[in-house]
């Protein structure tokens, strides 16, 4: 059985792109908000989370903090995904993939390293 990855991005096109890259080795599910992500995580069964940083409502760092509180084991299985390199230094201690600067094999390696 393949590991499941939850992809969180308010941009559905970007979420589908990430899902397509990861679907070669993972089962993927996409959601468009932090609130939706938390509802999916309640059901269990995810090996990792890939989340955009800048989203309306709950940001990626806010989602990460909630996940750390609710599901501590997921803290080490979380990857931020952003196109804004300037945000990287302010992010919590979790791996970061840069949109547009990370090729598909780099993203795959990063997600594999945390699952």
Q: What is the mean pLDDT of residues 101-113?
A: 73
The 10s digit of each residue's pLDDT in 38-75 is: 999 999 999 999 999 899 999 999 999 999 999 999 98
Which residues constitute the domain of residue 98? 4-114
Helix, strand, coil shares, percent, the chain, to 5: 50, 20, 30
**Domains of the chain: total:** 1
Q: What pLDDT sits at residue 46?
A: 96
110-to-37, 39, 42, 52, 70 alpha-carbon distances in Å? 20, 25, 24, 15, 23
Query: In this predicted structure, what is the pLDDT of residue 100?
Result: 54
Instruction: CATH number of the domain at 45, please.
Output: 3.40.50.2300
* pLDDT value at residue 97: 64
Q: What is the pLDDT of residues 68-100, one digit of tens each?
A: 999 999 988 998 887 777 776 667 776 566 565
Paired tokens of 81: 């995904």
The torsion angles phi and psi of 111, rounded to 5 degrees, stand at -65, -40
C-alpha distances in Å from residue 109, one per residue of 17, 65, 89: 16, 24, 21
pLDDT at residue 23 tops 90: yes
Is residue 20 pLDDT above 70, yes or no? Answer: yes
Looking at residue 99, its pLDDT comes to 60
């Amino acid at each position: 059985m393949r590991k499941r990855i939850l992809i969180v991005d308010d941009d559905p096109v970007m979420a589908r792109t990430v899902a397509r890259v990861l679907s070669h080795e993972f089962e993927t599910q996409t959601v468009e908000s932090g609130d939706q992500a938390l509802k999916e995580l309640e059901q269990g069964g995810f090996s990792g989370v890939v989340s955009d940083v800048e989203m309306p409502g709950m940001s990626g760092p806010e989602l990460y903090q909630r996940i750390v509180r609710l599901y501590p084991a997921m803290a080490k299985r979380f990857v931020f995904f952003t196109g804004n390199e300037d945000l990287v230094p302010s992010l919590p201690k979790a791996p970061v993939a840069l949109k547009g600067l990370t090729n598909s094999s780099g993203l795959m390696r990063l997600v594999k390293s945390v699952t």
